[in-house]
Structure 1
Amino acid sequence: MPYSEQSLPSSSCDSAMFSNNTLFNDVIATGLSGGIALSLLGLWEETAKRGIFDQNLNRKIVHVTVGLVFMLCWPMFSNDFTGAALAALIPGVNIIKMLLLGLGIWKDEKTVKSMSRFGDHRELIKGPLYYASTITWACFMYWRTSPIAIASICNLCAGDGMADIVGRHFGNKKLPYNSNKTIIGTVAMATAGFLASIGFMFYFSSFGYMKESPEMILGFLIVSLVSALVESHPLSTEVDDNLTVPLASILVGSFVL
């Protein structure tokens, strides 16, 4: 169900970070969070333009960092519905951007180069569009009081991103059921997604948005293991793991978190 203020635990912080006026607070938080996200994207666009990193590595650095850094900004927002809605607006705007760039309506070579495998603008209406849509959905529908939001974003960003980075650079042994994936890459995905989920569990717990528990930790482990198996399946190569991984995280998370 969509985020509601009633879903907050009784121990959650009732005050907004910047102002007692929650709407004003959320507008400030939106500006700051959006500025941080744009600055980070701008940094990776520059590294792509200058060729500091291999293009695929640069793309995966974007993949790992942007969603996680954005989620770090969530405590800036108030507990009101406007907090979740305005926070979701930030990646929501990126959905429109990916569509415009992917369809060739808007030209931005730096963004295309930093987010695509082969420099083709049409790639942005697949993986990058699914990526932005997942974060928008998790933010608006689940928000910071739900471990499902944590699981879906952490397995998409940290898990899927590290699977490619580690697998591409250190993977020698291929999976028996998918020659495009490596054993170490799949292990790296499960490990990174799980550790990132645990980190954000404690992070949001420190603000009172949720209460950490051994059961929640076990749930995160199950979700990360299933997400890693889904990412390693040949179907994820055909469809796009930016779509299959968050869908698996949300589905499994609905039962175990």
Structure 2
Amino acid sequence: MTPLIHNLLITIAGIAYVFSVVGIMDWFVKSKNFPQDISRKIVHISAGSWLIFWLFYDPSHWSKYLNIAPAFIWTVLLFIKGFTAKPDDEAVKTMTRTGDRKELLKGPLYFTIVMNLMGTVFIYQELALTAMGLLGWGDGLAPVFGKRFGKHKYKILVEKSLEGSIAFLLFGIFGASIFHFLILGEINFVNILVCTLIATVIEAASPSDLDNFLIPLSVIVIYLSFL
């Protein structure tokens, strides 16, 4: 099998994975009255974990960059759906907080743009693994814990909870460590810890939805400037 065919098959698997997650969560929301906020975060974490498919690409061939196909497709879809989607659209049901289609043009769209960036400019780099671990797992679970267990509130620009910030810190470290181990075969814990501590402060001060840009941006700045 040629490297191109091999990488095309992995790309198809990646697309199927991302679309399956969205479809499954849409079914749960519509058929089982599954909480929309939890569905949104499951999609968030699952999409951010798409980079596990990097393990299976042939890195010697240019077609490794096809790994961003799921992100690119969803970038286009979110842009279109943000203007045209109906209230029962699967993206609206699984990726928005309030059911307003315009939300798709904010956090979810920013997230896919970051995926495209990490899968091209920073593919296989420690920077990308750390950024997606923090963005996918840390930022994915922080609001869940903050909403359900957050009793100690504080405000920088927007109200957050200490419990949510701790969840970001712990799950961000967890996600980044898993990605480091799977892709690199080792865990650079010091770099992860430095980035996570700074990103926790960034997340705490970030307005809603902008954290999907600001968290990975902070990781990029840290790695390119100091690590």
Structure 1 length normalisation: TM-score?
0.82
Closer, same or farther in 2 for the Cα pair 1:244/1:83, shift >3 Å? same
Closer, same or farther in 2 for the Cα pair 1:238/1:42, shift >3 Å? closer
Shift of 1:200: 1.2
Question: Once the two structures are superposed, what CA deviation does each residue of 1:57-114 show, in whole Å capped at 9, x if it has no partner?
Answer: 211121122211x11111121113524321012211110011000122x556121111
In structure 1, the partner of 2:18 is: 37
In structure 1, the partner of 2:103 is: 123
Q: Is the CA contact (8 Å cut-off) linking 2:134 and 2:196 kept in structure 1?
A: yes
- Whether 1:156 aligns to 2:135 is yes
In structure 1, the partner of 2:54 is: 74
In structure 2, the partner of 1:201 is: 180
Percent identity at matched positions? 26
Q: Which segment drifts farther, 33-42 or 163-172?
A: 33-42
In structure 1, the partner of 2:167 is: 188
Q: Give the length in aligned residue pairs.
A: 226
In structure 1, the partner of 2:5 is: 24
In structure 2, the partner of 1:111 is: 91
Gaps of 5+ in 1: 1-18, 207-211
The DSSP-based 3-state class of the residue aligned with 2:120 is helix
CA distance in 1, matches of 2:105, 2:55: 30
Q: Is the CA contact (8 Å cut-off) linking 2:133 and 2:177 kept in structure 1?
A: no
Shift of 1:128: 0.4
Shift of 1:174: 0.8
- Whether 1:53 aligns to 2:34 is yes
Shift of 1:37: 1.5
| 1:82-93 alignment runs, 5 A limit | 82-93=62-73
Q: Is the CA contact (8 Å cut-off) linking 2:54 and 2:183 kept in structure 1?
A: no
Shift of 1:193: 0.9
In structure 2, the partner of 1:147 is: 126
CA distance in 2, matches of 1:189, 1:119: 25
In structure 1, the partner of 2:201 is: 229
In structure 2, the partner of 1:248 is: 218
In structure 2, the partner of 1:220 is: 192
Q: Is the CA contact (8 Å cut-off) linking 1:151 and 1:250 kept in structure 2?
A: no
Name the aligned partner's letter for residue 155 of structure 1: L
CA distance in 2, matches of 1:27, 1:117: 34
- Whether 1:94 aligns to 2:66 is no
Shift of 1:176: 5.0
Q: Is the CA contact (8 Å cut-off) linking 1:156 and 1:242 kept in structure 2?
A: yes
Name the aligned partner's letter for residue 96 of structure 1: V
Larger Rg: 1
**Cα root mean square deviation, aligned:** 1.8
Gaps of 5+ in 2: none
Q: Is the CA contact (8 Å cut-off) linking 1:155 and 1:249 kept in structure 2?
A: no
Q: Which segment drifts farther, 182-191 or 71-80?
A: 71-80
CA distance in 1, matches of 2:158, 2:128: 31
CA distance in 1, matches of 2:32, 2:223: 38
CA distance in 2, matches of 1:99, 1:176: 31
Deviant stretches of 4+, over 6 Å = none
CA distance in 2, matches of 1:238, 1:29: 34
